[in-house]
Chain A
């Protein structure tokens, strides 16, 4: 059962020796279960900080992040993460990377393998099970990373510019794949991106943050039916609106 994410009046300050950076200032938002939400904004607006707070990799200076009624204090397998540079373990093959999470939880080998092969099918990597990450292309690496995150059956996927390092064609292809997987597995997705077009193409809702300090600036629900036409009038209109909101 999926639950919604509540970011409740969260402030995050990073203290270095003589420098205090206010990464997020009093940000509140709610993300519904199974919703696909993108966070966009300029560099330094705290997108990644917000994602890391939800992941529990860092803790807020003020306020709290809740999932259902649970206050988040540390990372957990209910929140799967996909990073920009896949962060796959280079010493494990694709299939072993996918099994990493279940293995930690003590899932039996046979069951683990079966499930890993299922995920390999889901991300369409059949034939590449035994390859090490360095032998895979950028797009394939991100497929493995998504499969690895899904292997512990998290409630949500937190994705930090997962396609930012891919070329344009691969990127478009991976967007399709992500939507397909999202529809197949019904997860909440929080997606950080630099690309407004990518956000419009994928999301149910777009959240715009403004930098220095990071504040919530605007929200855009995207009601366009899927599959979306990247060159349609409404698409372009949204692009302009969001662009204006950012700059």
Chain B
């Protein structure tokens, strides 16, 4: 840029002002990536937290400061809590429970939802059951589930699956009922049989809404997992948080929350990757618009 070069070499007072202007212009032209803004905000809040505890505005038991959490984080990774059960065990246990329950729920909900949604009699018959079962707060089933299956792994996976199933099945039924009639008419005039319409029209047309149900259900899985891990086990992030309470270790609780957030973040991203992979016709346009 020749114009800025000449102004950089200027020596008069007016020249110095123009140097300043050029520096500003260049700074403004530097595009700061979006994540930098977020990072700066987080760092500032962490600093504020540390400062507030240091100066006695916050109680360190109620709000263990970041400097302490760092030590807790390391000790959870190396020595574990309760001693010997390290973070990777907790993470793996929780993750595998969530996946088992969630996958089971999805695998059951998609076919059953497709059948219910495409049959108006079944739909009317199933509606009250689905509405009721979905309205039951999953955690409140815990005592009953323990009575049925005992305090074992199956109870935990069952409750996660229960919470997710009703959400997904509702979205599948709604998706099937919401399929544009014209797609079906077009398929009929193109000689498609009922079975072909089911698999080649209803199913693909429903997928976007099925995915949005699956996303909501994933949130539900995280609500349930923590609760069901609070009884009868020392493994899993829910158990970690519960144990921490018993020993007044609020720092462990916070680090545990942090780990839960990490798995939540990873799983949500895996799901949206899967969605983009399976539904390129949906995301292509979004990318064009961006």
Q: Are A79 and B187 in contact (CB under 8 A)?
A: no
Q: Are A100 and B189 in contact (CB under 8 A)?
A: no
CA distance A130 to B211 in the complex (A): 24
Q: Are A57 and B185 in contact (CB under 8 A)?
A: yes
Per-residue interface assignment for chain A, residues 53 to 87, with 1 indicating a CB less than 8 Å from any chain B CB and 0 otherwise: 00101000000000000000011110111010101
> At the interface, yes or no: B269 with Cβ under 8 Å from chain A?
no
> At the interface, yes or no: B204 with Cβ under 8 Å from chain A?
yes
CA distance A100 to B196 in the complex (A): 10
Binds A, one of B72-80, B152-160, B244-252, B277-285: B277-285
Q: Are B182 and A132 in contact (CB under 8 A)?
A: no
Q: Find the A residue at minimum CB distance from B278.
A: A91
Q: Are B204 and A101 in contact (CB under 8 A)?
A: no
CA distance A151 to B192 in the complex (A): 13
Cross-interface CB contact of B190 among A83, A90, A135, A148, cutoff 8 Å: A148
Q: Are A83 and B191 in contact (CB under 8 A)?
A: no
Q: Are B185 and A87 in contact (CB under 8 A)?
A: yes
> Contacts A89-B204, A90-B281 known; A100 to B190 CB distance under 8 Å?
yes
Cross-interface CB contact of A91 among B186, B187, B189, B281, cutoff 8 Å: B281
Min CB distance B202 to A, Å, is 11
CA distance A81 to B281 in the complex (A): 23
Q: Are A75 and B200 in contact (CB under 8 A)?
A: no
Which residues of B lie under 8 Å from residue A148 when comparing CB positions?
186, 190
> At the interface, yes or no: B193 with Cβ under 8 Å from chain A?
yes
What bracket does the count of chain B residues touching chain A fall in?
Answer: 20 to 34
Min CB distance A141 to B, Å, is 13
Q: Are B180 and A87 in contact (CB under 8 A)?
A: yes
> Contacts A83-B182, A87-B180 known; A55 to B189 CB distance under 8 Å?
yes
Cross-interface CB contact of B191 among A88, A91, A105, A132, cutoff 8 Å: A105
> At the interface, yes or no: B258 with Cβ under 8 Å from chain A?
no
> At the interface, yes or no: A104 with Cβ under 8 Å from chain B?
yes
Q: Find the A residue at minimum CB distance from B288.
A: A135
CA distance A100 to B191 in the complex (A): 9
Which residues of B lie under 8 Å from residue A91 when comparing CB positions?
204-205, 207, 279, 281
CA distance A27 to B279 in the complex (A): 46
Top 10 nearest A-B pairs by Cβ distance? A77-B191, A101-B190, A75-B188, A87-B182, A91-B204, A81-B189, A132-B281, A87-B186, A104-B192, A75-B189
Instruction: Spell out B's residues near A (CB within 8 Å).
Output: 180, 182-183, 185-193, 196, 200-201, 204-205, 207, 279-281, 284-285, 288
